[in-house]
Structure 1
């Protein structure tokens, strides 16, 4: 079949004033061009970069539309060549008279809900995560797997029947007791084991809390910029997301009155905001709790990596300041142990424990008990805190080394944000570098060279962002110091490539 040598010119346009998301407008129009054979099989499409530039859109918007077309089989990607109209377009994909059709294009929607569309649009794909410099990736090779394997073997050598049958919706009782004891000592969280519920990660915990505390259409405040995984969990619960700016003191809660006076819930990471790394001030924390009390609202505290603070004493959790039982506290073991463990926890107000347990059972019956007994012993016998102490020292050294190397090799082009906690550094592009490239394009080139970074602009819920939001998140926890300079030089080449 004949292939075109040049990318097709697409007769499409988006209405930026329309309530229809721009990525959906692109998807619908390109799909229609394919179905009506105005784009023929094998025809090459423009790159996401060039189409975004031509249409004055963010590359993220175009990439989302292309990703959906690729996933549904309308397009096929070829390494090093681009995106092409698929050769095989079965007759079955043509809309029939019995299918629901959109008024604008006549193409089938197949009953997908608005919520389903919004959730699907959040997925950006997952590229290979390499030690340099994937944010949130711990030093897995430093984890004491010899101890862990012994604890797992001991738990399952002759397991009691309660581990093999249906478990408690809230999780394995000894693990909940171990977590409560740890949180009271290390994070100043006020809780008992009955308030702890085991979940499969922070996102499931946020989703559970939102389902219990919100009705469909209720407004939920999120940090702008903020962790994208929170958006999916809240959207799945039917929440209307309201982004609130984050400054050097954390989420600007006083702006919420103008943005969403009827908001019932806010989701924050006060100890170490992601991705900016700022710590919420005491005054802002107290104001946030005051807002929740005045609004009869709720605060979800995402305490995802508070264990890693490198100067001063660890900050107490926001939940420990709450005297009105308005905070749902959420933690996870993914970053402090290893990601595939998929175990986290939530601490709920005492008067809501029964409601949360019943909702947990209704949504997911009970969490897997495979790793819970071993994790309980890992915490009870002191291995967990010993591992944290070792990793805190190791990560601090790697953080300092990376900061020095970035200043040495990229200081002319970026500003390195100070980070006294966490597992990543943030570098912001200066005006000189912004004129040369975007953080999205730099990320793509770095990935091609085997370097994992995350663009700062991807963390913004609003598409209309300014140049200040161009930057990269660089995780250092999994990178050996002897390998850092080589990785930084590769990253520099990727950022400055033309």
Structure 2
């Protein structure tokens, strides 16, 4: 195409805030890349250019200078200005490819991008009975803002690239906290700070399992964990959960040579049961004998409403096979994206190096602010305050269920966590009830959502719902229960 015609048609809009030379630069670059101005095309002298477009010569000179600096134009005084031959012809002549012609993902890549397809995400404003959510407005954001601002005002060398393991003062404080509250046996050198527990689970699945290795997964269980196992190419083996937690004997009988077991022993998701001592000892014995890893996901142990928090599984490990994974999403707020792993000493350095590959290190200022938040006592006060608040909301939900829906639902364990599981007394269909709830403005998570699609009949559990309560005010809980009562009573 004639260069003069192309230039005369370049779109410029004087009403925009973007300077004209920037608009001209962008329009010419687009024309070069789409082939309208082909490699080797001579451009008009700047004065002639100004006659084609009503712009100043300085505007043209500035645009030419940017394009030359980036390699799109070439030229010299007395010879003229040309579209650079360094712009490859295939790029200049490229046309949008049809979807069928796109290069396919690798099999591993396909596994990664499809692994989370069935995991539910929160995509709307908060409503009853959203699961996995703390009450965000209870968090002292004014305190957090002050702590972060103090760090921003005093930047130092630690604002550069840091230790992939995380901010050392934070790891030291977490070490003290975990020893006191969960009985975790560790040193700061065993702790790795991650961008949420999901990153921790991905790292562990990736470096501990080879493609094809078997891994035990609770069923029903946390789909985000099974997603990371599948993304790593593992063969996920669903193991049933009963009133004592993971059925270790079933796993040992049907998949004895698994390389890893994922468990939530303190508060099983979604059933809410705690793993009994005989099951814990059996799991640790199996792992030690088969040289397998156990990933203990302790996602909400801070919120236990009857008695002291249970001791961690890691505290009972004598073979160095348990990796303890924790998150601050349920204690502080999910958007913070801070979690951690406590690794056996022999594994810690490998996890640090793996963390460095993924994102070098977690953002430093939130780690610094959290260290100050803990050191100044805000963390302990916040946990006490939210535990009391959550216990009150749990009581509202339990009383409401007894009052409105005792003939329709019965509850599972309700001594800890941010939600409780309620089973149908009748023959309601989970998915139908869930869809009906959304139509009436409430979220009802079916227990079937947590079942592994490849699980055997041994993993079947009664139909029911997981009902979140921690993020809701008392009137929101009661309003939601009235809607749920109407739905289950067919009104």
What is the TM-score normalised by the length of structure 1?
0.75
Q: Pairwise mapping of residues 262-411 of structure 1 onto structure 2 (< 5 A)?
A: 262-411=257-406
Structure-1 residue corresponding to 2:450: 459
Change (3 A) 1:237 1:259: same
Measured against aligned partners, the alpha-carbon deviations of 1:182-222 in whole angstroms (never above 9, x if no partner) come to: 10111110011111000111111111122222111111100
Q: Within 5 Å, which residues of 2 pair with 1:38-53?
A: none
Residues 110 and 161 from structure 1, CA distance in 2 versus in 1: closer, same or farther, beyond 3 angstroms?
closer
Change (3 A) 1:116 1:147: closer
Deviation at 1:92, TM superposition (A): 6.1
Q: Is the 8 A contact 1:128 1:452 kept in 2?
A: no
Of 445, 450, 462, 1:469 maps to 462
Checking the alignment, whether the CA contact within 8 Å between 2:273 and 2:413 is kept in structure 1 is no
Instruction: Give how far 1:127 is off.
Output: 3.9
Report the more deviating stretch, 111-120 or 466-475.
111-120
Match of 1:122, SS state, is coil
Residue 147 of structure 1 is aligned with which of 132, 143, 156? 143
Contact preservation (8 Å) 1:129, 1:452: no
Aligned match of 2:435: 444
* Pairwise CA distance, 1:129: 5.2
Please tell me whether the aligned partners of residues 112 and 232 of structure 2 are also in contact (alpha carbons under 8 angstroms): no
- Residue 255 in 1 paired to residue 250 in 2? yes
Q: In the alignment, what sits opposite 2:155?
A: 159
1:171 aligned partner = 166
Q: Distance in 1 between matches of 2:460 and 2:212?
A: 32
Q: Identify the range of structure 1 (249-258 vs 486-495) with the bigger mean alpha-carbon deviation.
A: 486-495
Note closer, same or farther for the CA distance 1:467–1:288 as it changes in structure 2 (3 Å cut): closer
CA distance in 2, matches of 1:449, 1:154: 46
Contact 2:244 2:273 in 1 (8 A): yes
Distance 1:278 1:396 in 2: 17
Q: CA deviation at 1:223?
A: 0.3
Alpha-carbon shift at residue 355 of structure 1 (Å): 1.2
2:365 is paired with a residue whose SS is coil
Q: Which structure has the bigger radius of gyration?
A: 2
Q: Does 1:227 align with 2:218?
A: no
In 2 relative to 1, CA 209–120 (structure 1 residues): closer, same or farther, beyond 3 Å? Answer: closer
Indicate conservation of the 8 Å contact 1:189/1:317, yes or no. yes
- In 1, Cα distance between the equivalents of 2:365 and 2:169? 14
Mapped to 1, the partners of 2:119 and 2:296 lie a distance apart of: 24
Q: Does residue 492 in structure 1 map to residue 485 in structure 2?
A: yes
Which position in structure 1 is the counterpart of 2:124? 128
- Given the superposition, is the C-alpha separation of residues 485 and 120 from structure 1 closer, same or farther in structure 2, using an over 3 Å criterion? closer
Task: Indicate conservation of the 8 Å contact 1:131/1:137, yes or no.
Answer: no
Maintained 8 Å contact 1:443/1:453:
yes
Residue ranges of structure 2 left out of the alignment (5+ in a row):
1-95
Contact kept, 8 Å, 1:134 with 1:453, in 2: the verdict is yes
Shift of 1:176: 0.9
Displacement of 1:468: 4.5
- The counterpart of 1:416, out of the listed 390, 411, 415, is 411
Q: Cα 1:425–1:124, aligned 2, differ >3 Å: closer, same or farther? A: closer
CA–CA distance in structure 2, aligned partners of residues 358 and 379 of structure 1: 27
CA distance 1:486–1:294, shift in 2 (3 Å): same
Alpha-carbon RMSD: 2.2
User: In structure 2, do the counterparts of structure 1 residues 346 and 468 end up closer, same or farther at CA, with 3 Å as the change threshold?
Assistant: closer
Q: What is the count of residue pairs matched by the alignment?
A: 394
Structure 1 Cα separation of the partners of residues 359 and 127 of structure 2? 33
Match for residue 480 of structure 1? 473
Matched, 1:119 2:115: yes
Distance of 1:399 and 1:123 partners within structure 2: 25
Cα pair distance change 1:447/1:115, threshold 3 Å = same
Q: How much has 1:321 moved relative to structure 2? A: 0.7
